[in-house]
Amino acid sequence: MVAQRSISALLAGAAVSSACTIPTEPLGNNIDYSFRAQVQNASRPEVHNQYMNLFEAGGGDRHLFIGPVGVPTYDLTLVGGVINHVPNGVRAVIGGEFSEIDHTTKMFMTGRGDPRAVFQPTYACNPDTDELQIELRFVTWQDHPEGGHICVRSAFDNSHEFRYSPPGNELIDVDRECIKVTLVVIPTTDLPPPQTSSTRTSTTLSTSTTSTAISTPTGNPPSGGPFTDLTAMGYRFLGCAPEERWTDDGAFRTLSGATYSSDNAMTNEACAAFCGESGFRYAGTEWRRECWCGNDVAPTRQPATTLAGLAHCNDGYRCTGDPTQNCGGDAWLSLYERCDGGEGCENAIFT
Ligand SMILES: *[C@@H]1O[C@H](CO)[C@@H](O)[C@H](O)[C@H]1NC(C)=O
């Protein structure tokens, strides 16, 4: 957190000066504050300044896209030069889907031991604004010769996928040129901006067409009861809270401190553990696969303690990791709160 603040201060300081001054001290190859990865190629507006998204691809792997495919991520870190996404236990590697036409190879994220993509953080000046930025310069595909670069090549649904082009490669696939990009670290001090419903829809459609199917809600309550008793792990169930409301109470998301999603392993326990480890008081699951964390719940978003209110989260949105549990509803959160020591830990009572 100290590192994060000093980086923000450094970047903010650079913004007010008239020209970009590159600090002389070199950067290490670990970044322990959360960031998003932006791609830049100022001469290619179709990809310039877009962000890397993670797309669930089976076996826990995440494929990497820019454009309207995948889920925006705000919590990447760099460990020994390797991009990590800790909530999903994956890191960026290169391998597979070698193309005979342009000799590029896919870059994706996995928990397995494939050769990693290794980057070196380096100060540079933003091509549009001249502000100081930190780029992830590509160093090597582990166990391969140094050099080469990362590029993005057009893929389905108007997206581009991330690929590696080897040193000296001049081959181009004329149907889908792999555009060389610079990867830029964008620190995420404030998590995450409101997700618009159109983003949400395209994510949903893409996921259901190409990854392992998530069954649609059945409308039948699960066998485990309307909520999960997490009191043994120190969380009480508060109720079913409204979420994603366009009201004038300032927030679109009810909990906006941190988030992750899983198409095969979401449970209320996993979400509470994630939020707790991230230092948040509230944890809420939604829409079978999402986990949201925060430190407060606006007065307009408090869950009702009526059976009718509870029913919004007992409508067949079973957790992707445990079909006996409910994980929220469509724009409703199954809301849990960490119990503070000493006052007992009891779930809300619904009447
Ligand atoms: C932009 O992409 C083109 C095509 O891959 C490449 O030739 C050029 O070097 C790239 N520009 C930058 C700044 O990376």
pLDDT given for residue 221 in this prediction: 66
Residues 319, 287 contacting (CB under 8 angstroms) = no
- To test the ligand 1 pocket, which listed residue (38, 39, 40, 41) has its Cβ within 8 A of the most ligand atoms? 41
Domain with CATH 2.80.10 in the chain: 25-187+201-215
- Closest residue CA from atom 12 of ligand 1: 41
Burial class (CB in 10 A: 0-12, 13-18, 19+), 245: middle
Ligand 1 atom showing the smallest separation from residue 149 Cα:
14
- To test the ligand 1 pocket, which listed residue (38, 40, 43, 149) has its Cβ within 8 A of the most ligand atoms? 43
How far away, in angstroms, is 42 Cα from ligand 1 center?
Answer: 8
pLDDT given for residue 7 in this prediction: 53
pLDDT given for residue 193 in this prediction: 46
**Distance separating alpha carbons of residues 268 and 142, to the nearest angstrom:** 37
**Distance separating alpha carbons of residues 25 and 297, to the nearest angstrom:** 42
Amino acid making up residue 70: G
Residues 337, 282 contacting (CB under 8 angstroms) = yes
Ligand 1 atom showing the smallest separation from residue 182 Cα:
14
- What 3-state class would DSSP assign to 300? helix
pLDDT given for residue 179 in this prediction: 97
How far away, in angstroms, is 92 Cα from ligand 1 center?
Answer: 22
Burial class (CB in 10 A: 0-12, 13-18, 19+), 2: exposed
- What 3-state class would DSSP assign to 136? strand
Residues with CB under 6 A from ligand 1: 41, 43-44, 179-180, 182
Architecture of the CATH domain 25-187+201-215: Trefoil (2.80)
How far away, in angstroms, is 182 Cα from ligand 1 center?
Answer: 9
Provide the residue-wise pLDDT of the chain in tens; the chain has 351 residues: 444 445 555 555 444 444 789 999 999 999 988 999 999 999 999 999 999 999 988 778 899 999 988 888 888 999 999 999 988 889 999 998 899 999 999 999 998 888 999 999 999 999 999 999 999 999 999 889 899 999 999 998 889 999 999 999 999 998 899 999 999 999 986 554 444 333 333 332 222 223 333 444 555 667 778 999 999 999 999 999 998 665 555 566 789 888 888 888 999 999 999 999 999 999 999 988 899 999 999 888 899 999 989 999 998 889 999 989 999 987 799 999 999 876 789 999 999
pLDDT given for residue 316 in this prediction: 80
Burial class (CB in 10 A: 0-12, 13-18, 19+), 154: middle
How far are the Cα atoms of 29, 90, 293, 327 from residue 79, in angstroms, in the given order?
A: 7, 12, 24, 32
Question: Could you tell me which of 136, 141, 147 has the C-alpha nearest to residue 116?
Answer: 141
Whole-prediction pTM: 0.55
What is the total residue count of the chain? 351
